[in-house]
Amino acid sequence: MEFRTLKIEELQQWTQFCGSVFPVGEAYFMRHYSNDPYRDINGIFIAVDETGIASSVRVFTRYLKIKDTVIKVGGIGEVCTKKSHRGMGLSSKLMHMAIEYMDKHDMPLSMLHTGTNHHYVKAGWFSICSYYKVYSLRKTKLQEGYSVEKADLKSMDVIKTLFEEHAHKLCPVYVRTDEYYEKWIRSELTNTYYLLKDGKPVSYADCVLKANQGVLVKEYIAGDETSMMKPFFYQICNQMNWPKMIAISSPFATDKSYFKFFDYGQMFRINKPFKIGDKTISYEEDLLVYLSEFPELHLDGY
């Protein structure tokens, strides 16, 4: 078995491999590579034998703002192994190569999202609890002067303006460059709607219908219009002919009348000590105080 970085001429072979393991298909992985402004072929690690690619781990480069400090983050994704090769420690070996890559590229913090937490705990990642609010929406009308319309995404200016103006209220939050908006965010938006006040967009939401689960709000930037949240989402569900049941990452909304459910899939690893303001972050307990309101940022997910 050979453990190494991916070669550029193997890119399609790799996306086909990932698409054969995960149910989302090859195009998802090609999109995530081609639309990532920070992509690095040397951040993709593979295990190869005579049957071809047997296992994969990718490090995404991201920048996370915590308080007033921007931290370079290594996002772990595209972790997959052929069924026939599982239980051989392949992804664990690749994970250690990924840790070495993050150290070399000055990434003091690592993040990932998983349903198999135990696999990563052994290599130093720890879980945080993410909270969702679940609403069963009743029929509600928008207040006078408000309307809802499907977003025209030919330009990302409205999304960018609203996010940059209001996302600072979230902590932590990803830093988004112009190129990141145009490539990554544009390609990850699915069903995007604006809430307009007197014809001007004041909020946006991007949602997706999850089979047998209801509507997942991938991102919601409300500005000063949080009181209009339920009418806004009711109108979206009505226009899409969706069930009137939504789940939203709790930091995106301020309404406290909700049912809670929890997700322990977000994990972090402190690769080496770093600072947030004047505070040195060396251990899990140092970082946890800053993560209590960490939103599930689905558009930034990898």
DSSP string, 145-198: TEEEEE--TT--HHHHHHHHHHGGGSSSEE---HHHIIIIIHHH--EEEEEEET
The CATH number of the structural domain formed by 2-129+264-300 is 3.40.630.30
Q: Which helix (H) or strand (E) holds 262?
A: strand 259-263
Q: Quick one: pLDDT at residue 169?
A: 83
Structure tokens at 283: 């251990």
Q: Quick one: pLDDT at residue 250?
A: 87
Structure tokens at 169: 């209220």
CA distance 195 to 147: 6
CA distances from 257 to 60, 109, 132, 134, 188 (A): 36, 34, 12, 9, 30
Lowest mean pLDDT among 42-56, 214-228, 270-284: 214-228
For 113-163, write each residue's pLDDT tens digit. Answer: 998 888 899 999 999 988 899 999 999 889 999 999 999 999 999 999 999
| Stated length of the chain | 302
Rounded (10°) angle between helices 26-34 and 11-21: 130
Strand-pairing partners, residue 287, are none
CA distance 105 to 6: 17
Topology of domain 132-151+189-261 in CATH is Aminopeptidase (3.40.630)
Structure tokens at 102: 């993050």
Strand-pairing partners, residue 149, are 194
Strand pairing class (2-5; 44-49): antiparallel
Contact 115, 205 (CB under 8 A): no
Nearest to 58 by CA among 71, 72, 82, 42: 42
pLDDT band at 37 (very low <50, low <70, confident <90, very high): very high
Lowest mean pLDDT among 33-42, 147-156, 181-190, 285-294: 285-294
Residue 228, phi then psi, degrees to nearest 5: -95, 10
Strand-pairing partners, residue 46, are 4, 56
Q: Quick one: pLDDT at residue 258?
A: 67
Q: For 181-210, what is the mean pLDDT?
A: 97
Contact 28, 49 (CB under 8 A): no
Whether 132-151+189-261 and 2-129+264-300 are alike in CATH topology: the answer is yes
DSSP one-letter code for 3? E
Q: Quick one: pLDDT at residue 256?
A: 63
Contact 205, 216 (CB under 8 A): no
CA distance 147 to 197: 7
CA distance 10 to 23: 21
For 71-106, write each residue's pLDDT tens digit. Answer: 999 999 999 999 999 999 999 999 999 999 999 999
CA distance 277 to 130: 24
Nearest to 42 by CA among 94, 3, 90, 4: 4
CA distance 297 to 124: 23
- Give the residue extent of every domain in the chain: 2-129+264-300, 132-151+189-261
CA distance 246 to 210: 10
For 227-261, write each residue's pLDDT tens digit. Answer: 899 999 999 999 999 999 999 998 887 676 667 78
